[in-house]
Amino acid sequence: MSYLKEESRPPGRPRDPHREAAILAVVTELLADVGYEGLTFELVARRAGASKPTLYRRWSTKRDMVVAAIRAMPATGNGRTIDTGSLRGDLLELLGILAETLASSDTALVSTLLQAGLSDPELCEHLEVSTGPSGARLPAEVLRHAAERGELPRDAGSFAYDEVVGATMVTRALNALPYDEGYREQLVDSVLLPALRTAATPTHYAGIFSGRIH
């Protein structure tokens, strides 16, 4: 009885999910090869053995296509846990991870993710889940451990971290400014630690990288 169908299939031949997956794999591959700027619809079509209309049918801009490719990356996670025994150590380790990521990636790609993906909470969440702690967000257990050690009040929030770290580090990376260990220590000591210790106000604004737009 047809009233059971919430939404029936659209008419016509459905899109081939295999094509889609194959294409996005090529996009991922090409991002590594030629970078974001060098990526073109033409090139993707050639390498994927697909036609341009097939691409345009799915994504109308390069950005959309790249974002889809990133979202389609397998969510493996790196399983890393952060626990150095002190809040300061944990923070520095997180910043170190982020620094590594930034150092290795194409800045234009980072820029894309920044501009395209960060306004998309799902993508953000996906990135965090798929790649493990990226250093862009403060994992809840780090906060908990710090509270257990008495380094932070029980109700300390991650706002200061989430908001500040990603924005500053990425901005520095994009502008070829240094974000070496010395810099990171200074950020921890003169901004993050004071801010985290103080902040007891309930947060109404999610951090930039928290994946949830208020």
Amino acid at 4: L
Helices 87-104 and 140-148, packing angle to 10 deg:
160
Distances (CA, A) of 175 to 102, 135, 213: 12, 19, 26
Q: Which is nearer to a copy of itself, 52 or 80 (CB)?
A: 52
Q: How far is the CB of 53 from DNA (least distance, A)?
A: 4
Q: Which is nearer to DNA, 59 or 161 (CB)?
A: 59
Q: How far is the CB of 162 from a copy of itself (least distance, A)?
A: 10
The HSE-up count of residue 102 (CA atoms within 13 Å, CB side) is: 26
Taking CB within 5 to 8 Å according to partner kind, which of DNA, a copy of itself, none is near residue 25?
Answer: none
Which residues of this protein are in contact with a copy of itself, per CB under 8 A? 111, 114-115, 118-119, 159-160, 163-164, 166-168, 170-172, 174-178, 182-183, 186-187, 189-191, 193-195, 197-199, 201, 203-205, 208, 213-214
Q: How far is the CB of 16 from DNA (least distance, A)?
A: 3
Q: Where are the alpha helices (DSSP H) in the chain?
A: 17-38, 41-48, 52-58, 62-71, 87-104, 107-112, 121-131, 140-148, 159-174, 181-187, 193-198
Which residues of this protein are in contact with DNA, per CB under 7 A? 8-16, 19-20, 40-43, 49-54, 56-58, 60-62
Q: How far is the CB of 7 from DNA (least distance, A)?
A: 11
Helices 159-174 and 87-104, packing angle to 10 deg:
30
Q: Which is nearer to a copy of itself, 29 or 183 (CB)?
A: 183
